Amino acid sequence: MMKEKMILKHEKSTRIFHWVNLVIFLALLFSGLAIFNPNFRFFAFLFGDLRGAAELHKYFGIAYLVVPFIYIVTHFKLFKKFIARIADFDEDDHKWLKISGGYMAPLIKGEPPEQGKFNAGQKSLGWIIIVVSCILGITGLIMMFYTQVPPVLVRYSYLIHAASGLFIGCGILVHFYLAAIHPKSSKECKTMMGNGYIEAEFAKHHNAKWYREVAKEDKSSEK
Amino acid sequence: MSRLAYYYDSSKCMGCRGCQAACKEWNEEEVENTHFEGSYQNPPQLSPDTRMIIKFYENFEKDTVPQLNMLKYQCFHCGDPACVKVCPSGCLQRTEDGVVIMDKDKCIACGYCHSACPFTIPSIGKTVNKCDMCFSRIREGSESEKTSTPACVKACLADALSFGNRDELVQKGKERVTWLKTRGYENANLYGESILGGLGVLSVLKDKPTKYGLPEEPSMPLEITAWKDILNPIAPLAFVGAIGLSAVQHLCALKQIKDEKKKDDTDKDDADKGEK
């Protein structure tokens, strides 16, 4: 049998960054949930006890700000490209969002339009992560240096930090499901977590616009 | 169970700070090195090593009678304490008789209580620190008068402090305020009778609360209620929702795959028939 054609979707640096960010994010989510809500108190055992969770939440929080900063500075070109991709929201993307990308068929019917390297859902998630992480970072810093900040501001930070964390926690849960468990799109998982390559056939169907882009580049490089 | 409270009479307090010294001694707290910076108040603020201070509001203007307003500043043991509401570890709790106590072993030093408190009183060093009504004395002490009152009350020379049944002390405070009014203190008032679920420290003030640096009508901050009473209970539901959404998508995907297979089969059948 002929070996299936594979194309590179995620650069090595992207994959390493995704891994590091994943570990930091999960540590923050679990320690944060343990502190925030009594129903999730059991997560504290991962960090020794609740005090350990509170202590580590601060250090991981700083890492959550510093690591992306380092990545952006050292890989500015990649980052710029990524931002350009997720900022490009065209007619097809709006259509895609309207029918939830066909993921909810037959509940929400419609043929999903052609997508780029990232589909409209992934683009939205990209923005959600960037914006909500900034909010979490700012409110987190306020909470860390609470004696230097007016108490009203600190109290609103508690509320906003908790709400944002909850929102992004739920968002990442769905992100994890779609990328790792969903029967039709779970190929993405081994691509991002593994060697970065994805089946050409899969890309053709899921990321048609990007596939053509890559194919064109291939042809021109062959010449 | 009847509620316990302190009673503090600022019109009797002479600012000797005997209570401060007794407080430090009983609670075994470090003495802080401070500098004179123009006020007799010392130490300048509450800290992880200082549970209580007498605040001095000095008025030494030329050609007027010198005035000193003093206030015993410490945890007010609210009837509806915001610190207890926000404490994530169960370190801060309120007893049935109205003492807001702390279990330092449980403290995770998050600092929520400091910012949630309408007076920003709890101080956090390695762990939280604030007045606990000398819980070790009033609970574990003997029944004798010698050990069953807080250290500060025991030390007061001016009869400005009492401790006991809150209802009786409210009555006492009201009488004192009426008396002060007849003596020309028109703005005299009893601070803490009903705010924040009724304070556990009843202060007889000679003047408006604002002259003592106290908020007139403090209340439970709205953002604390939204955070702990609304967002907190819906948090598990949000995750259930996210899992539910994933489950629905999964069922949809399975259905889609089944349909596609069926279609493929019928297509094949059609093709076969066509060949025939």
Half-sphere exposure of A59 (CA within 13 A, CB side): 8
pLDDT of residue A106: 77
pLDDT of residue B54: 94
A169-183, B16-30, B254-268: segment of lowest average pLDDT: B254-268
**B78-108 tens-digit pLDDT:** 999 999 999 999 999 999 889 999 999 999 9
Residue B141 pLDDT level (bands cut at 50, 70, 90): low
Residues of A with CB under 8 A from a CB of B: 33, 35-37, 39-40, 50-51, 53-55, 103-107, 143, 146-147, 151-152, 154-156, 158-159, 162-163, 166-167, 169-171, 173-174, 177-178, 181-184
The candidate with the shortest Cα–Cα distance to A32, out of A174, A132, A152, A119, is: A132
Residue A1 pLDDT level (bands cut at 50, 70, 90): very low
Residue A102 pLDDT level (bands cut at 50, 70, 90): confident
**Mean pLDDT, chain A, whole residue set:** 89
**Least CB–CB distance from B253: residue in A147, A151, A184:** A184
pLDDT of residue A214: 84
Label the pairing between strands B201-205 and B189-191: antiparallel
Residue A2 pLDDT level (bands cut at 50, 70, 90): low
More reliable by pLDDT, B119 or B63: B119
Residue A5 pLDDT level (bands cut at 50, 70, 90): confident
| Phi and psi, residue A156, nearest 5° | -65, -35
Query: Reduced to 3 DSSP states, what percent helix, strand and coil does chain B have, rounded to the nearest 5?
Result: 40, 15, 45
**A30-81 tens-digit pLDDT:** 999 999 999 999 999 999 999 999 999 999 999 999 999 999 999 999 999 9
- Asked if residue B17 has pLDDT above 50, the reply is yes
Q: Same domain, yes or no, for B95 and B20?
A: yes
One DSSP character per residue, A36-59 reads H-GGGGGGGGGGSSHHHHHHHHHH
Residues B101 and B92: their CA atoms lie apart, in Å, by 6
Instruction: Determine what percent of chain B is predicted with pLDDT higher than 90.
Output: 66
Whole-Å CA distances, A87 to A131, A132, A134: 13, 16, 17
Q: Same domain, yes or no, for B251 and B227?
A: yes
Q: What is the average per-residue pLDDT within A207-213?
A: 85
Beta bridge partners of B13: none
Q: Say how far residue B135 (Cα) sits from the centre of its chain.
A: 16
Token pair 């779970």 is at which residue? A186
Q: Same domain, yes or no, for B118 and B194?
A: yes
Q: What is the average per-residue pLDDT within B258-267?
A: 83
DSSP letter assigned to residue B97: T
Residues A161 and A139: their CA atoms lie apart, in Å, by 6
**A189-200 tens-digit pLDDT:** 888 888 888 888
Q: Are A144 and A61 in contact (CB under 8 A)?
A: yes
Buried b (16+ CB within 10 A) or exposed e, B176-196: bbeebeeeebeebbbbbbebb
Q: Same domain, yes or no, for B206 and B262?
A: no
More reliable by pLDDT, A105 or A21: A21
Q: Same domain, yes or no, for B73 and B101?
A: yes
Residue A159 pLDDT level (bands cut at 50, 70, 90): very high
Residues B119 and A169: their CA atoms lie apart, in Å, by 33
Residue A202 pLDDT level (bands cut at 50, 70, 90): confident
> So what CATH class is A12-168?
mainly alpha
Q: Is B117 annotated as a binding residue?
A: yes
A105-109, A116-120, B252-256: segment of lowest average pLDDT: A105-109
Label the pairing between strands B100-102 and B92-94: antiparallel
More reliable by pLDDT, A220 or B120: B120
User: Which residues on A lie below 8 Å from B116 (Cβ)?
Assistant: 151, 155, 158
> What is the least distance, in Å, from the CA of A59 to any CA of chain B?
13
User: Does the CA dihedral B38-B41-B46-B47 come out positive or negative?
Assistant: positive
Q: Same domain, yes or no, for B34 and B120?
A: yes
Q: Same domain, yes or no, for B107 and B202?
A: yes
Domains in chain B, number: 2
pLDDT of residue B275: 60
Q: Is B83 annotated as a binding residue?
A: yes
**Cβ contact (<8 Å) for B108 and A35?**
yes
Q: Same domain, yes or no, for B188 and B238?
A: no
**Least CB–CB distance from A146: residue in B106, B114, B226:** B114
- Asked if residue A101 has pLDDT above 50, the reply is yes
CA angle A120, A125, A126 (to 5 degrees): 95
H or E element at residue B85? helix B82-86
Q: What is the average per-residue pLDDT within B35-46?
A: 88
Question: In chain A, where are the structural domains located?
Answer: 12-168
Q: Is B113 annotated as a binding residue?
A: yes
| Phi and psi, residue B52, nearest 5° | -150, 140
Q: Same domain, yes or no, for B138 and B265?
A: no
**B18-34 tens-digit pLDDT:** 999 999 999 999 998 99
Residue B274 pLDDT level (bands cut at 50, 70, 90): low
Structure tokens, B154: 């025991």
Q: Same domain, yes or no, for B257 and B201?
A: no
CA angle A40, A44, A46 (to 5 degrees): 120
Q: What is the average per-residue pLDDT within B235-242?
A: 94
H or E element at residue B202? strand B201-205
pLDDT of residue A208: 84
Structure tokens, A120: 């409209």
**Cβ contact (<8 Å) for A178 and B249?**
yes
pTM reported for the whole predicted model = 0.89
**Could you give the ipTM of this predicted complex?**
0.88
pLDDT of residue A223: 54
Token pair 């409210």 is at which residue? B170
- Asked if residue B147 has pLDDT above 70, the reply is no
The most confident of A69-78, B63-72, B247-256, by mean pLDDT: A69-78
One DSSP character per residue, A138-163 reads HHHHHHHTGGGS-HHHHHHHHHHHHH
Interface test with A, best of B107, B110, B129, B259 (most A CBs within 10 A): B110
Q: Same domain, yes or no, for B207 and B254?
A: no
The parent domain of residue B15 ranges over: 4-220
Beta bridge partners of B72: B54
Q: Are B128 and B136 in contact (CB under 8 A)?
A: no
DSSP letter assigned to residue A7: E
Residues A198 and A6: their CA atoms lie apart, in Å, by 5
Q: Are B108 and B90 in contact (CB under 8 A)?
A: no
> What is the least distance, in Å, from the CA of A184 to any CA of chain B?
7
H or E element at residue B270? helix B232-275
Token pair 């380092």 is at which residue? A70
pLDDT of residue B142: 56
Q: Is B252 annotated as a binding residue?
A: no
- Asked if residue B55 has pLDDT above 90, the reply is yes
Q: Same domain, yes or no, for B227 and B136?
A: no
**Cβ contact (<8 Å) for A174 and B242?**
yes
pLDDT of residue B237: 95
Instruction: Determine what percent of chain A is predicted with pLDDT higher than 90.
Output: 56
- Asked if residue A22 has pLDDT above 90, the reply is yes
Label the pairing between strands B201-205 and B4-9: parallel
Residues A92 and A102: their CA atoms lie apart, in Å, by 13
